[in-house]
Structure 1
Amino acid sequence: MLHTNLPKNRFFRGAYLMVRRYLRHGVGIQSAALAFYLLFAVFPMLIFISALLGLLHLDVASVLADLHEILPKVAVDFIGVYLIHVEENSNVRLLLFGLVFSIFFPMRAANTLMRSVRTAYRLGPPRQAALHLLRTLIYTVLLLVTLTLTLVLMSVSNTVLQYAVAHLHLPAFAAWLWSTLRFPLAGAAAGFALLALYALTQDTRQPWKNLLPGVVASLAAWLVLSWIYAAYMENIANYSLLYGSIGTAMALLVWLYMTAVTLIMGAELNGTLISLRRETPEEF
């Protein structure tokens, strides 16, 4: 029996339940935690890459000579200073530090996501801790690959492509192809990762109708938000002038937060639809 204070219309009843779920399940707080974990994962990864380059003992002069053929002198000089710095400051302990925290923070992010999905589906604590840990490890790897791919696709904008065509001899067709396909490719990667998230979190195999609606809705919302945000950052915002170098981290953090909200709310939508099919929303 439905509560009498719920809207009679099925659509408005679902919207009411979604808002109630957002508040009761702390979606805003979980999204903020997820965004911070993902942002924290970036810096140890940069430390790991820098330490690894230093330990490889690259022939800096040879590398710079090759780069002079494709990059402007200013860019080559900057890369040269960076490579010399990491070679002179190579450290195994720094490498291990970067490696450990490059795994730790993405694992925390994956665990936060999976916990939020389990809350949306009302699954409770995992039944098998070892199996849950294995699933978290698998999804951590998938999350890292997906984030790297989507960040590259989102970051290489039309302005960067035009510069590459003009100065780096990038074929115009390749630039057009990248510009045309970057959002569909990002959407396909995110959709696969999202479907894997909802499926791996379950204790038992779920029918498609309990997974796909949230995946489609979350993916559509993420693509729209990413497109709006990318257009805003490229054409309107001048965050670097206002905030300096920290502006890049702020912009990335906002995008990660919006991404986290859409991912979690997709699971909440699935939970709401399950509730409506059972006509027992009072349990939520």
Structure 2
Amino acid sequence: MDRPLPQNRFLRGIYLMVQRYLRHNVGIQSAALAFYLLFTLFPLMIFISALLGLLDLNVVGILEALREILPREILEFIGMYLTYVRENPSPQLLLFGLFFSLYFPMRAANALMRSVRTAYHLGPPRRAFVHQLKGLLYTVLLIVAIAVTLTLMTVGDRLLGYAVENFPLPLFVAGLWSRLRFPVAGTVGFFALFFLYALSQDGRQPWRNLWPGTLFSLAAWMALSFCYSVYVDNFAHYSILYGSIGTAIVLLIWLYMSSVVLIMGAEFNGTLISLRKERTA
């Protein structure tokens, strides 16, 4: 016999979220998504390193921008890898990164879209070919969003300084843009996740069934990444416990927690839909 739901709407929502986590096997789905994200990371870093060489972006600037939300071990690992690939260019490595930067992100996007469909109580896609095209389209949009975010975080100061010195760009406009570029990058991330939730549907969903979970997921990811970064940098000692694979352990845990948050954003939308149906009934 099922236990009665709490009368308080807030407690009822928390109870439904926990039930959804258990019934929809979010832990298992998050592990699968973290697996694809892990294999996405290395080809994507090869792609980013090629982008860094093409646009003459600053690796140090990227790492400084991410220092507030990512653990130090992950930043050191990413910085070492980007520096190595950038200093050792290879056509074969570039082709490898170009191919798998589409293949593995597409697999990760498809895994996340399946989890989103489960959260919305949707069955298998009605048109599998169209669903695959949506996954490919979203993968391309995701890579573009990453490129735009990197450009906003690193190229901004250089271009602004050059524009102030050589063009009639007011100094206060440059300062305003310098302060607003991170909110703009956050907005890009918001719409990237929003479109993933939208493309996972068979039809058109109202905005109120999409944006709350997107905002919840983005805010929870930033808070969780910041807290985990503080924990790893000040309390955890993975390098002592696990030796040379300590960085890999930190990376895997972070990817798994990020996967849980991304999936639970869709579950949050599903919970709100259920609560609205109860109120209407």
CA distance in 2, matches of 1:91, 1:11: 55
Decide whether the 8 Å contact of 1:48 with 1:96 is kept in 2. no
Counterpart code for 2:208: K
Where does 1:78-89 land on structure 2 (aligned, <5 Å)?
Answer: 86=89
1:208 aligns with 2:175: no
CA distance in 2, matches of 1:153, 1:30: 32
Aligned to 2:73: none
Counterpart code for 1:5: P
Aligned to 2:13: 14
Counterpart code for 1:104: Y
CA distance in 1, matches of 2:258, 2:140: 18
Aligned to 1:126: 125
Q: TM-score, normalised by structure 2?
A: 0.67
Q: What is the RMSD of the two structures over their aligned residues, measured on CA atoms?
A: 4.1
1:30 aligns with 2:29: yes
How far the C-alpha of 1:6 sits from its partner, in A, is 1.8
CA distance in 1, matches of 2:123, 2:239: 44
Gaps of 5+ in 2: 53-80, 155-174
How far the C-alpha of 1:251 sits from its partner, in A, is 2.7
Evaluate the alpha carbon distance shift between residue 177 and residue 17 of structure 1 in structure 2; reply closer, same or farther with a 3 A threshold. same
Aligned to 1:219: 218
Where does 1:265-280 land on structure 2 (aligned, <5 Å)?
Answer: 265-279=264-278
How far the C-alpha of 1:80 sits from its partner, in A, is 10
CA distance in 1, matches of 2:253, 2:129: 34
CA distance in 1, matches of 2:277, 2:228: 37
CA distance in 1, matches of 2:272, 2:5: 15
Residue-by-residue CA offset, 1:32-84 (whole Å, 9 max, x unaligned): 2112211112223456788999xxxxxxxxxxxxxxxxxxxxxxxx9999778
CA distance in 2, matches of 1:81, 1:200: 36
How far the C-alpha of 1:124 sits from its partner, in A, is 0.8
Q: In structure 1, the residue corresponding to 2:99 is in which secondary structure? A: helix
Aligned to 1:261: 260
How far the C-alpha of 1:254 sits from its partner, in A, is 2.4
The count of corresponding residues between Structure 1 and Structure 2 is: 235
Moved more, 177-186 or 257-266: 177-186
Residue-by-residue CA offset, 1:219-238 (whole Å, 9 max, x unaligned): 22112112223344555556
How far the C-alpha of 1:153 sits from its partner, in A, is 9.0
Counterpart code for 1:144: I
Counterpart code for 2:125: P
Residue-by-residue CA offset, 1:109-131 (whole Å, 9 max, x unaligned): 00011000000001111111221
Q: In structure 2, the residue corresponding to 1:204 is in which secondary structure? A: coil
Aligned to 1:42: 41
Where does 1:1-284 land on structure 2 (aligned, <5 Å)?
Answer: 5-45=4-44, 86=89, 90=90, 92=92, 96-146=95-145, 184-234=183-233, 239=238, 243=242, 246-279=245-278
Decide whether the 8 Å contact of 2:50 with 2:86 is kept in 1. no
Decide whether the 8 Å contact of 1:183 with 1:223 is kept in 2. no
Q: What percent identity do the matched residue pairs reach? A: 66
Counterpart code for 2:212: P
Decide whether the 8 Å contact of 1:39 with 1:253 is kept in 2. yes
